[in-house]
Amino acid sequence: MSVQAEKLADKLADAKLADVGNRAAAPRKGRRLRAFLRNPTFVAGVIILSFFVLLALFADVLFPGDPLDMVGPPVLWPGENAEFPLGTDSLGRDVLAGLVHGARASLLVGLSAAAIGLAIGMVVGAAAGFFGGWIDTLLMRVVELFQTTPTFLLVVVIVAIGEPTMQTIALAIGIASWPTVARLVRAQFRSLREADFVMAARSLGYSNLRIIAQEILPNALPPVIVAASVMIANAILTEAGLSFLNMRDPNLVSWGGMIGAGRDLLRTAWFLTALPGVAIAAAVLSLNLVGDGLNEILNPRSEP
Amino acid sequence: MSLLAVENLTVAFPGHVAVREVSFAIEPGETLALVGESGCGKSVTAFSMMRLLPPNARVVTGRILLDGADLMAASPAEMREVRGKKISLIQQEPMTSLNPVLSIGTQIGEVIRRHEKVSRRTARARCIELLDLVSIPDAHRRIDDYPHNLSGGMRQRVMIAMAVACGPKLLIADEPTTALDVTTQAQVLDLLDDLRRRLSMAVLLITHDLGVVAQWADRINVMYAGRIVEQAAIRPFFAQPMHPYSRGLLGARVDVDADEHYSASRLSEIPGSVGSAAGEAGCPFAPRCPMVETSCRVVPPSLLAFEAGRRVACPVSLQAVTLEAARHG
Amino acid sequence: MAEPLLSVRDLHTRYAVGKQVLRAVDGVSFEVGRGETVGLVGESGCGKSTLGKTVLRLVPSVEGAIVLDGADITRLGDGAMAQHRRRMQMIFQDPFGSLNPRQTIRTVLDTALKVHRQGDRAERRRRMTEIVERVGLPADALDRYPHEFSGGQRQRIGIARALVLRPALIVCDEPVSALDVSIQAQILNLLVDLKRDLGLSYLFISHDLSVVRYFADRVLVMYLGRIVESASHATLWRDPRHPYTKALFAALPSTDPTHKRGAPPIKGELTTDLSSGCRFCSRCPAATDRCRSEEPLLRSVGEGHHAACHYA
């Protein structure tokens, strides 16, 4: 029954589309924005995420000085000392300062890893999906090669080969995550390249590059944008995992690093692991919420 | 008593009203055609009769009486008994209406076992009979085929077999042949007509094709922008369509019988599109109508009786026809 | 006789479907004269759409020749092909899928003009305004997106896109079958007007024989990748020779309820079984042993009238 109801809804949506013809169109941008604001999932995600972004941006203002400095007595519980509202760790470092600065490191790793993954994945996926044939076969074998290796293991190996700096870690996560994007983009391109409007572009004599960039890519982007938010979340998680294994940039605080450092005191001072854990969970959740919201909003069916 | 009566049905979706004050009745054993263009509300009307509207639809007013009982008041469990057993539905797209991972025998059997307490073996035997009934050759072998093994016309036959499996009193056929080729269309519609007679059921034929209506229906309801604008028996309708929209539809169609060619004659067109009706207070067809008068733009005309079994929602056209008749006779 | 605008000789197009090879177009020859409308009619899967796309070089052919304006374009590379693209364009069936949802109408038209280096900015703007008006769209349509238009209007946009480069040949692939009846007449009338005013030639592909008969000067009937009958519209209507053509006519429902229909003329549906003999013989009411063993070739059965049937 629900299938039929859905079909009817589709039909009606089409019929409504056909109806809008003569009405003057409201400015497209304004309508888009309203669609964003009407989506509670998306708004919730954006609020949490902006909170972390603001922390990251103003970390130096809020907590000047190196968060790795010892500033107080070791293992102060939250609330024990007003100067350190969230306590201090085993080396007497301010946990709150660590969390705030850690937001910067975690988001930065997440963003740059996702950017690297997207860049490689989109180029490979677009080429494979658009051209098909032997190019597709070849590129997809490479993708499979990467996908059969466990992601985390791959990251560990790459970081172990290089220095454990932020750049290496981001690069490693990016390299390990592009195959997902490539598959997604390839699937989009394969279906879109058969679309009538792409046929029309070819019949107008457009070059392949123009067809890829101007006709197909803008239509292929929505699911990629959604995937990107999840990729950032995954990158943050992977970085945390690496830090836990002590593969972290020794000169920077990150949430994962804080969890790793608090591990030894898990029984006596569990808040040292719990607080950065909550931060990671909240950040990942917000990114997923944003992703879900984007998915609903960017879905062409729901477009006004 | 009519088999099914729709009384004053109005269905609204957020932001627009899809069906407005629609009333009609279906007599036992007849084929009633519901005709109109996409978005006119014909499918919504049909889905309302099955109580299968999407969740954002709201039935504002109206009753649907099946053998005197109001379906709008029926419980979900009672509705499930009605669907498939008393009223069943076949849809336009036989590709997506069948589950691709189940054999057709399983799917038809499911319908039978859903409504009747019979063994698997009996259901299977019934299933073969049904496939025979819808003229699928080698029914006992075809029963284990999957939808992708079948051609479009064969799939539609399977859909029909499922729809008539429990002997419904009314079969709603929503654009049953639109996705089919013209030679297949004739076969499928003949099959439907044959089944209607043999199983003594009524058929509500929803279509946009007036040729199909002329050949396979007994009566016609023409819908425009959510309203019924003309109700008539087939012969009088095609002899003299009364509503300007009915006339426009017939005139715009390239007919097989008419010897027209672009070099000699233009097709008559209905100007504008359905969207032109948005926001109009009066007759929804007024913005496109060649006979429009100022009174048309005030209130939407209701259906007026013209002769027995014929009602038209256009006082202007009725008056013109009456005057014409008086002059001649 | 003047050289035809388009001449297609023994064209073959094949698709690989899994391990099987589907001969979608299997040895088709025809011509489209200057200012002529050629109708191509057949059921879904008969290869008519593929034929249209092959002629436009959107689908590769494996054999045969496509000659446009005296130039053989069958094997031209992308670069050399580009200049010929301007001469032939296509109108698509689906008014929703044939327009890029993320481009305004101005972008759609302007890109085409820019790619083909047609005029400077002012000239391009003039031509866009002109064409939009010519196809009956409001002047403010240029800066709107496809989803803001109704189906009929979108089809007008598709026509504007096809015409903006001033082509000579338009391949119309079921241009009205996705539209409502009342809109179909508008679009068909528009196509007739444009043909008259701009001296266009059409290859008009449709499954609807009544529309083709109204719209075409000459009609080709296609069945399973082959042309089975070709004749002028009047001849075909008066005297169809191939049993398939007769069946197509007989299957069309008349809007005259007193005109009683007969039994369905042919049984079964299009198959892809291409054994020896006539492709239509499994469905033909008059098939004989000869039909099952010997494939009939297209032969002349009258003035400008050809049919591929032993008994035509």
Specify whether the CB–CB gap between B105 and B124 falls below 8 A. yes
Distance set, CA B65 to CA B69, B88, C185 (Å) = 5, 15, 39
pLDDT at A2 over 70: no
Residues in B touching A21 (Cβ below 8 Å):
273, 275
Q: How many CA atoms lie less than 13 Å away from A237 in the CB half-sphere?
A: 15
Residue C274 burial by CB count (10 A; 0-12/13-18/19+): exposed, middle or buried? middle
- Tens digit of each residue's pLDDT (9 = 90 or more) over A41-63: 889 999 999 999 998 888 888 88
Q: What is the residue range of C60's domain?
A: 6-87+167-307
pLDDT of residue C269: 67
Å between B323 CA and nearest CA of chain A:
36
Number of domains, chain C? 1
Residues in B touching A302 (Cβ below 8 Å):
none
pLDDT of residue A16: 39
Residues 6+ apart with CB under 8 A from B303: B23, B228, B229, B231, B311, B312, B313
pLDDT of residue C271: 64
Interface list for chain C against chain A, based on CB atoms closer than 8 Å: 53, 56, 58, 78, 81-82, 85-86, 88-90, 92-94, 96-103, 111-112, 115-116, 144-145, 147-153, 158, 161, 165
For residue B219, what are the β-bridge partners? Answer: B32, B233
Taking an 8 Å cut-off on Cβ atoms, the answer to whether A197 and C98 are in contact is: yes
Residue numbers in chain C where pLDDT is lower than 70: 1, 260-265, 268-275
pLDDT of residue A3: 45
Q: Using CB atoms, list chains with 3+ pairs below 8 Å to chain A.
A: B, C
* Interfacial A residues in 11-70 facing B (CB < 8 Å): 11-12, 14-16, 18-23
**Which residue pairs from B183-187 have beta carbons closer than 8 angstroms and sit at least 24 positions apart in sequence?**
B183/C43, B183/C247, B183/C248, B183/C251, B183/C264, B183/C265, B183/C266, B183/C269, B184/B152, B184/B153, B184/B156, B184/C43, B184/C269, B185/B212, B185/C251, B185/C253, B186/C251, B186/C253, B186/C261, B186/C264, B186/C265, B187/B153, B187/C264, B187/C267
- Tens digit of each residue's pLDDT (9 = 90 or more) over A176-230: 899 999 999 999 999 998 899 999 999 998 999 999 999 999 899 888 888 888 8
pLDDT of residue C259: 77
What is the torsion angle, in degrees rounded to the nearest 10, for the CA atoms of residue C118, residue C123, residue C127 and residue C129? 140
Query: In the 8-state DSSP scheme, what is residue B170?
Result: E
The shortest CB-CB distance from B278 to any of A6, A8, A22 is to: A22
Residue range A232-238: mean pLDDT, rounded: 89
Taking an 8 Å cut-off on Cβ atoms, the answer to whether B91 and A4 are in contact is: yes
Query: In the 8-state DSSP scheme, what is residue C224?
Result: T
Mutate to test the interface with B, among C155, C180, C235 (most CBs of B within 10 A): C180
Q: Please name the residue that has the structure tokens 């879905």.
A: A299
pLDDT of residue C270: 64
Query: In the 8-state DSSP scheme, what is residue A213?
Result: I
The shortest CB-CB distance from C97 to any of A20, A197, A207 is to: A197
Look at residue C39 and tell me if it is in a domain. Answer: yes
Q: How far apart are CA A164 and CA C32, in angstroms?
A: 70
pLDDT of residue B238: 94
Residue range A147-156: mean pLDDT, rounded: 87
Residue range A279-293: mean pLDDT, rounded: 89
- Tens digit of each residue's pLDDT (9 = 90 or more) over A242-282: 887 888 887 888 888 888 888 888 888 888 888 988 998 99
Q: How far apart are CA C48 and CA C228, in angstroms?
A: 12
Look at residue C117 and tell me if it is in a domain. Answer: no
Look at residue C22 and tell me if it is in a domain. Answer: yes
pLDDT of residue C306: 96
For residue C206, what are the β-bridge partners? Answer: C41
The shortest CB-CB distance from C89 to any of A14, A19, A203 is to: A203
Q: How far apart are the first and last CA of chain A?
A: 26
Distance set, CA C97 to CA A17, B57, C147 (Å) = 13, 27, 11
The CATH number of the domain holding residue C14 is 3.40.50.300
Distance set, CA C56 to CA A63, C4, C110, C191, C227 (Å) = 67, 16, 21, 19, 18
Look at residue C24 and tell me if it is in a domain. Answer: yes
pLDDT of residue A30: 57
pLDDT 10s digit of each residue in chain B, 329 long? Answer: 789 999 999 999 988 889 999 999 999 999 999 999 888 899 999 999 999 999 999 999 999 999 889 999 999 999 998 998 899 999 887 677 888 899 999 999 988 988 888 898 999 999 999 998 898 888 888 999 998 888 888 888 999 999 999 889 999 999 998 888 888 888 889 999 999 999 999 999 999 999 999 999 999 999 999 999 999 999 999 999 999 999 999 988 887 777 789 988 888 888 887 765 555 678 989 989 999 998 888 888 999 998 888 999 999 999 998 888 888 86
The shortest CB-CB distance from A9 to any of B54, B272, B274 is to: B54
pLDDT of residue A90: 79
Taking an 8 Å cut-off on Cβ atoms, the answer to whether A18 and B274 are in contact is: yes
The shortest CB-CB distance from B43 to any of A1, A6, A11 is to: A11
pLDDT of residue A134: 92
Q: How far apart are CA B320 and CA B322, in angstroms?
A: 5
Residue of B nearest to A3 (CA): B97
- pLDDT category of residue A81 using cuts at 50, 70 and 90: confident
Between A162 and B31, the more confident residue is: B31
pLDDT of residue B7: 95
Give the count of beta carbons closer than 10 Å to the beta carbon of residue C286: 11
Å between A204 CA and nearest CA of chain C:
6
Look at residue C107 and tell me if it is in a domain. Answer: no
- Tens digit of each residue's pLDDT (9 = 90 or more) over C133-167: 999 999 899 999 998 888 899 999 999 999 999 99
ipTM over cut 0.90: no
Domains defined for chain A, CATH in brackets? 41-63+70-302 (1.10.3720.10)
Residues in B touching C267 (Cβ below 8 Å):
187
Look at residue C214 and tell me if it is in a domain. Answer: yes
